[in-house]
Chain A
Amino acid sequence: MLGFALKRLGLAVLVAVAVSALAFLLLRASGDVATALAGEGARAEDIENIRRIYGLDRPLVAQYFEWIGKMAHGDFGRSLYFKIDVLALVRDKLPTTALLALFSLLFALAISIPLGILAAVHPNSWIDRACLALAVLGQALPNFFFALILILVFAVMLPVLPVSGSESWANFVLPSIALGYYVAPPFMRLARAGMIEVLASDYVRTARAKGLSGPSIVLKHALVNALVPIVALAAVQLGFLLGGSVVIETVFALDGLGYLAYQSISHLDLPVTQAIVTLLSFIYVGLTLGADLVNAWLDPRIRVG
């Protein structure tokens, strides 16, 4: 187990280094930052000055190492648009997005696991079909469009929830539903498929033969085993939620990392954009590493393979 863990950890570090380098290069190489910073109608000398001040005239590799070295010491630079320390800015917004991601994941699990089980217990019934329709619709509906409909229904027609802002828990309800429904379909499909497989297995037949009741078999014997793949998917989807938060946070003006990313991207605020892209990548790498280790711990076959 230790050997497996060390190997996975080494790989995760390599991935993190590669991702940070790529994020850096991609954002630097995709346009002339100095010209963009100087704004329209800037003189050539001004652009040159900006290039020198921000160190944009030096080789990219040197710029990368300086950037990563500073980041390792907690210096993420200064925001060009907000004019404050990037680390302080990101630290300020991260909890909002973490809460949104957590609530969304909980919402997704809360609808998809019960519905997945119901569909698996009654395959090809109307319940199964209704669940499938719900999953298919969730995959087809653009999430920002669904978010706008939620605003219209729950904030305007029946004014029970706030339209935008991030002051209280009520501000998180609609964004969590919008984002949660967006990631729910894969969970529903996985829960249904896993449950059907487990229900057809030998030990469930044994439990039936012993005369155990239906609900007891489903909840005590089958569910635990059907949940294992869901844990792995949850880690991946959580990383996905963090990225998806940019659209939903912008729609609801929820003041988190996603909205900050949108603002900094729109204003070409490179230090903030780079910091957020790198941070989200690192979180994803950490989450998948965690999921791999948990899975290896749960299932010894993975450690060897």
Chain B
Amino acid sequence: MTEISALPLVELIGPSPRTLLHRRLWGHKGLVISVALLTLIGLVALLAPVLTPYDPYAQDLGRRLIPPVWYQKGTWVHWLGTDNLGRDYLSRVLYGARISLLIGASVMAISGLIGTTLGLAAGYFGGRVDAFVMFTTTVRLAMPLILVALAVVATVGGSLWVVVLVLGLLKWDRFAVVMRAATQQVRGLEYVAAAECVGASTHRIILGEILPNVLPHLIVVATIEAASAILLEAALSFLGLGVQPPLPSWGLMIAEGKVYMFFSFWLIAIPGTALAILVLAINMLGDGIRDVTAPGGGRA
């Protein structure tokens, strides 16, 4: 019979929660790939001025529509070629990453703040507050998002910040719905009752007890909303009612390249692929976080 005390401590009590968390995180392929991709895209956006010698706005009409290097007529001078105004396409794609990331992050922050506040309040207080929040959310959902955004941008005038504000003020619905449901689940649990018993303030219970426990849901919704905001900005800019030229928004670049796409496919293929990769990475991040934080999660 083995002496219990002879076994190393680790085998008795198992790996620490921290080790388990690390195993889960590193064991999830999608999560690792998406974090790596997003870090890469973030670095590229941040270091754009260092990575390319060209100004993304500098036109050179003598060098219009040069194809990327993998075409026969391509040149290493412009890796991804040039657009119809002779602007270096690599620089525009790299600077475009800044716009997409900025849109995703700021829309997520504004709509997240509104939606989370509404959802937490509805889930915690219930009753009339809940009825009000649910009604507001239903009204918001009934309004066709793209149409309202397009119409407001058309009257106010398109710019990066108008797009951020309009999308941020419109896209809080999913945050509200998910946070409400998650709060309702947590609301009845013992530690909330315990906090209430010791006389903790409502403010403290919501921010200190409930919010940390619904955080995984919040993060998952945040990734979905960031991805969807990026796609929406691209669609608005594509239709000419979003970010305005000469800014290198990927959606706008596809709109500008559309006329030439039959002979210069790369003009739409490059920003389109960039958008798809960024959105894919954010969605994978969300799926990964959901898998890892779910009870018994950690599936690859």
| Interfacial residues, chain A to chain B (CB-CB below 8 A) | 11, 14-16, 18-19, 22-23, 26-27, 30-31, 33, 36, 136-137, 139-145, 148-149, 152, 156, 239, 242-244, 246-247, 250, 261-262, 265-266, 268, 273, 276-277, 280-281, 284-285, 288
Contact of B235 among A16, A22, A139, A144 (CB under 8 A): A144
Known: A33-B155, A284-B142. A142 touches B234 (CB 8 A): yes
Counting from the closest, the 10 A-B pairs by CB-CB distance are A31-B155, A243-B144, A145-B272, A140-B280, A140-B279, A30-B155, A280-B144, A281-B142, A18-B139, A30-B152
How does the 8 Å CB contact mask read for B117-156 relative to A, with 1 for contact and 0 for none?
A: 0000000000000000001001101111111101110111
B144 near A281: Cβ-Cβ < 8 Å: yes
Nearest CB of B to A190, in Å: 15
Is A136's CB under 8 angstroms from B143's CB?
no
Q: Is the CB of A277 within 8 A of B238?
A: no
Say yes or no: A23 contacts B143, CB within 8 Å.
Answer: yes
Once A148-B268, A152-B265 are accepted as A-B contacts, the answer to whether A22 and B139 lie under 8 Å apart by CB is yes
Across the interface, which residues of B come within 8 angstroms of A246, CB to CB?
146-147, 150, 239
Q: Report which residue of B146, B147, B156 has the largest number of chain A beta carbons within 10 angstroms of its beta carbon.
A: B147
A288 to B280, CA, bound (A): 30
Q: Tell me the B residues contacting A by CB distance below 8 Å.
A: 135, 138-139, 141-148, 150-152, 154-157, 227, 231, 234-235, 238-241, 251, 254, 258, 261-262, 265, 268, 272, 275-277, 279-280, 283-284
Chain B CB within 10 A, most for which of A148, A156, A244: A148
Chain B contact surface mostly:
helix
On whether the beta carbons of B268 and A145 are closer than 8 Å, the reply is yes
Chain A residues with Cβ below 8 Å from B143 are 19, 22-23, 277, 281
Residues of B within 8 A of A250 (CB): 239
| Given contact pairs A22-B143, A284-B142, a sample of 4 additional A-B residue pairs in the complex whose CB atoms are under 8 Å apart | A11-B138, A143-B235, A276-B147, A285-B142
Q: How far is the CA of A137 from the CA of B258 in the complex (A)?
A: 22
Q: How many Å lie between the Cα of A156 and that of B148 in the bound state?
A: 34
Q: Count CB-based A-B contacts (< 8 Å).
A: 129
A-side contacts of B151, CB under 8 Å:
26-27, 30, 265, 273, 277
23 CB < 8 A contacts A-B: A11-B138, A15-B142, A23-B143, A23-B148, A26-B152, A136-B284, A137-B276, A140-B276, A140-B277, A142-B231, A142-B251, A142-B254, A144-B251, A148-B258, A148-B268, A156-B262, A239-B144, A246-B147, A246-B150, A246-B239, A265-B241, A266-B241, A284-B142
Residues of B within 8 A of A143 (CB): 235
Distance in angstroms from B255 CB to nearest chain A CB is: 9
Could you tell me the distance between the alpha carbons of A27 and B143 in the complex, rounded to whole angstroms?
Answer: 12
Query: Can you name the residue of chain B whose Cβ is closest to the Cβ of A33?
Result: B155
By beta carbon, the residue of chain B nearest A281 is B142
Task: Report the minimal beta-carbon distance from A88 to chain B, rounded to whole angstroms.
Answer: 20
Q: With A139-B279, A141-B276 known to touch, is A244 a contact of B150 (CB < 8 Å)?
A: no
Contacts of A261 in B (CB 8 A): 147, 150
Given A27-B151, A136-B283, check contact A145 B275 (CB 8 Å).
Answer: yes
**Which residues of chain B are within 8 angstroms of A26 by Cβ–Cβ distance?**
148, 151-152
Given A140-B283, A265-B241, A266-B154, check contact A145 B276 (CB 8 Å).
yes
Task: Give the distance to chain A from B141, nearest Cβ to Cβ, in Å.
Answer: 7
The contact of A244 among B141, B146, B280, by CB within 8 Å, is: B146
With a cutoff of 8 Å between Cβ atoms, the chain B residues found around residue A148 in the complex are 254, 258, 261, 268, 272
Question: Complex Cα distance A149/B238, Å?
Answer: 15
Contact among B139, B238, B276, B283 with A144 in the assembled complex (CB-CB below 8 Å): B238
Residues of the A chain whose Cβ atoms lie less than 8 Å from the Cβ of B234: 142, 144
